[in-house]
Amino acid sequence: MRSLADALLYGIIDLGYVSAENAPGVLEKLIAGGIDMVQLRGKNHSIDELSLLAEKLLRLTSAAEIPLIVNDHAQIAQRVDVQGVHVGQDDESIAAVRERVERPIIVGKSTHSVEQATAAADEGADYIGLGPIFSTPTKPDYPPIRLSQIHEVRERVSIPIFCIGGIKLKNLGQVLAAGAKRVVIVSGLLQANDVVGYTHGCKKLVADPRGVISGL
C-alpha cells in the first residue's frame, strides 16, 4: 500500500457529483490518471449504502495499492477494511474513531484555520485537510482562507497537509506557489471531460511544480 507520506494528489468520490452506480468507473479513471489516495464521501447516503460501495471501491484501490478513506463514518471502517477515516470539526474525535475501529487506520481531519490545523495535529491526526482555499459549493459555510496561511500552517504542522477547496488545474499553480505540497481536488477531477487526462495533468504539476512556479 502506498505510504501516506508519498501521497500528493488526493481525490474524492463525492456522491453529490457522481452516482454510486458510476463511482467505480470514475475511480478507475482517477487511478489511471495517477491519483495517490481517494476518499468516499456521500453526505446523504446511509451507512449500509456507503459500506456496499466502499467494498466495491476497495477492490480497485487495493489492486492499485492506494489508500481508500471514508468520510465521517467510523462505522464503515468497522465493516469494510478501508485504510482510513476522515472527520470534520463537528464529527467524532480522532481518539474515538481509533477506539471504535480497533485496528490501525489513517485518520485525517478537516481544518479551516491555523489554529484548527495545529489542534488537529496535537489531537493525533495523521494528516489534515486545509481549506477551503477558494470558494466551493461543498463548503458553503466556510469562507476561503488566505493563501498566505498555507505557509504558516506548514511552519507549525509537521504531518501531511492537503490543501482543499475550489482547487482546479487552472489555479493549481497559485496554490503550489503559496507553498502547498499536497492537494485535494474534487469537482475539477470528477467533472472533467477527460478524467484520466485531467488527473494526469494535476498530478504532473503537483509532482514537479518548479516549472509552473517559475513561470508565474
Catalytic residue, from 29, 109, 110, 203: name it: 110
Question: What's the gap between Cα 188 and its chain centre?
Answer: 13
Q: Is 93 labeled as catalytic in the residue annotation?
A: no
Residue 43 has which C-alpha cell?
Answer: 453526505
Q: Is 110 labeled as catalytic in the residue annotation?
A: yes
The CB-side HSE value for 114 (13 A sphere, CA atoms) comes to 11
Grid coordinates 482547487 are at which residue?
167
CB–CB of 34/3 below 8 Å? no
Catalytic residue, from 2, 79, 100, 139: name it: 139
Contacts of 75 (CB under 8 A, 6+ apart): 47, 51, 100
CB–CB of 57/30 below 8 Å? no
**Cβ burial, residue 55 (10 Å; 0-12/13-18/19+):** middle
Q: Is 59 labeled as catalytic in the residue annotation?
A: no
Catalytic residue, from 29, 41, 98, 203: name it: 41
Grid coordinates 477551503 are at which residue?
132
Phi-psi region of 179 (alpha: psi -120 to 50; beta: other; left: phi over 0): left
Active-site residues: which are they? 41, 110, 139
